[in-house]
Amino acid sequence: MNALAATNRNFRHAARILGLDSKLEKSLLIPFREIKVECTIPKDDGSLVSYIGFRVQHDNARGPMKGGIRYHPEVDPDEVNALAQLMTWKSAVVDIPYGGAKGGIGCSPRDLSTSELERLTRVFTQKIHDLIGIHTDVPAPDMGTNAQTMAWILDEYSKFHGHSPAIVTGKPIDLGGSLGRDAATGRGVVFATEALLAEHGKSIPEMRFVIQGFGNVGSWAAKLIHEKGGKITAVSDMTGAVQNPNGLDIPALLKHKENNGALKDFDGGDAIDPNELLVQDCDVLIPCALGGVLNKDNAADVKAKYIIEAANHPTDPEADEILLKRGVTILPDIYANAGGVTVSYFEWVQNIQGFMWEEDKVNNELQKYMRRAFGNIKAMCQSQDCSLRMGAFTLGVSRVARATLLRGWEA
């Protein structure tokens, strides 16, 4: 099942639990606006090339729309729609005043020079500058984009609207980026894990962890879990997987990754088939990479007792049902990986106030938001007698539905 079908299914289930009016349900599902633009740029050799840029703005009932911009050759409109919708529910779950958006350009960033990427980003910004805004839609980095991409968007947007640091988040620190933003999603995953384990009378030091994906989120989660005394027995990235039943030396692994750009050939553990990683013996499994990695084919073999969804949509609905029947506790993506958008919100607040926070304040506020959201999800699970995923979805959808009704959606 693709990401859009799975997200719609979860939304409809939540709408049924909440007893939403069918017209309101339909209204919440349809995106507020879908933008598609042509971006033509001169390449370094003088030839012209065109790319398709787009932005899906899902919902603005609770505040400006918020979501990443990705540069990827296979940008799937359905997936972007699903991710924009997920951002709406995710922002509502952690109770930050945003709706959801997502967008990007269908290109392969590795095949473009830095100057070509800059020209492409600036043309894209010129095409959408009057449809985004500090109080309208605030982009952020995503797959294939980074702080430098945000710097170009900020500069180009500011040419039309005056200096506007709050137009994007995930910017370089020197341009108004927030301290702690780089680690935010991984740190949020760890705070979410702590909240879940505490609920079951457990803590990080007594658990064995397996982490799939060792990019920004996976590497930060590994570093922080290791610092808190957790034992990480296996990790993987695109190049391979490594395991050590006695616990991997995470600082050495991070250094190896920094020096070699990959986990491959790390001598502090044994190489294993990356496909076997998800079914390794462990207490906590943290998928931090692609969607749909847990499916009906491997769900029965998963040995973890807890799954923390650091990636977007890593568990197919079929796998969800199998794992729930087996008593595996799944902490859903719309809560578990919300640390990134939460600290993006803190960055936006700092930019609007023109007053920057210390890193400790950023991290303490993030912990407060993640803990409070977990308590709210648990309360929803108890009142509706549902799983954590449905608890999170019903919490998010109910908040957006309430805001929509209060604003007078039929007016």
By the 10 Å C-beta count (0-12 exposed, 13-18 middle, 19+ buried), 269 is classed as buried
| Distance (Å, whole) CA 60 – CA 58 | 7
Residues within the annotated binding site?
A: 66, 90, 185, 216, 344
Coil, strand or helix at 271: strand
Q: Which of 191, 135, 180 is nearest to 356 (CA)?
A: 180
CB 396 within 8 A of CB 92: yes
Query: Is residue 383 exposed (0-12), middle (13-18) or buried (19+ Cβ within 10 Å)?
Result: exposed
- What is the per-residue burial (b if ≥16 Cβ within 10 Å, else e) of 53-79? bbbbbbbbbbbbbbbbbbbbeebeeeb
* Cβ-contact 243, 253 below 8 angstroms: no
**CA nearest neighbour of 254 among 310, 296, 214, 291:** 214
Catalytic annotation, residues: 102
Residue 82 structure tokens: 């699903």
Q: Mark the binding-site residues for substrate, compressed into ranges.
A: 66, 90, 344
How far is the C-alpha of 35 from the C-alpha of 264, rounded, in Å? 41
Tokens of 14: 């939540």
Distance CA 190, CA 195 (A): 9
Q: Which residue ranges are tagged as binding site for NAD(+)?
A: 185, 216
**270 CB contacts (<8 Å, ≥6 apart)?**
242, 243, 244
Strand 33-42 to 48-57 pairing: antiparallel
Cα-Cα-Cα-Cα dihedral of 245, 247, 252, 258, to 10°? 70
